[in-house]
């Protein structure tokens, strides 16, 4: 069996990529929380690193970040880009890998998406549909009881 053919494409990241992504996430979070990056924008913001996605060959790391409160996202992203070389070196030093991955930063928009879904679920149209389903279920239960 050729190497890598055991997994179907599109079935998600390998255990190795997930484990490496988590190690990189911890390394970046530690560097940011300790204040090791000397940049005025980074020093004045608390930055969360909720996820790191690794490419299948582990040579590319996409680091998802979120400044506390979601403020100054573009400025924080630009500051991280300015300090990418230093952060890549710290990742290489802290995570035992054959090659230090190229890194890129993205804003984590999962919280925005969760808010959008929550607002949709609370909308009057959805509530009306849910109430109609509940009423139908109650009618069905009453019919069975009789």
Residue 80 is part of a domain; what is its CATH number? Answer: 3.30.300.20
Are 74 and 12 found together in one domain?
yes
Residues 42 and 93 in one domain: yes
- Chain centroid to Cα 59, Å, comes to 18
> Do 88 and 113 belong to one domain?
no
Q: Are residues 77 and 119 in the same domain?
A: no
**Is-above-0.75 flag for pTM?**
no
Q: How far apart are CA 16 and CA 27, in angstroms?
A: 17
Residue 77 sits in the same domain as residue 146? no
- pLDDT tens string 74-96: 999 999 999 999 999 999 999 98
Number of structural domains (the chain) is 2
Q: What is the pLDDT of residues 91-122, one digit of tens each?
A: 999 998 888 999 999 998 876 677 777 787 78
Same domain for 90 and 38: yes
Q: Which domain holds residue 71?
A: 1-108
**Same structural domain for residues 100 and 32?**
yes
């Amino acid at each position: 069996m050729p190497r890598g053919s055991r997994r179907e494409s599109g079935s998600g990241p390998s255990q190795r990529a997930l484990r490496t992504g988590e190690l990189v996430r911890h390394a970046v979070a530690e560097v940011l929380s300790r204040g090791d990056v000397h940049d005025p924008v980074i020093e004045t913001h608390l930055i969360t690193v909720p996820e790191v996605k690794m490419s299948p060959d582990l040579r590319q790391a996409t680091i998802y970040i979120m400044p506390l409160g979601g403020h100054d996202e573009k400025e924080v992203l630009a500051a991280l880009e300015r300090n990418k070389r230093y952060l890549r070196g710290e990742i290489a030093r802290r995570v035992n890998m054959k090659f230090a991955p190229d890194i890129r930063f993205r804003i984590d928009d999962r919280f925005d998406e969760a808010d959008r879904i929550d607002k949709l679920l609370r909308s009057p149209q959805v509530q009306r549909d849910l109430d109609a389903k509940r009423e139908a279920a109650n009618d069905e239960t009453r019919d069975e009881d009789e």
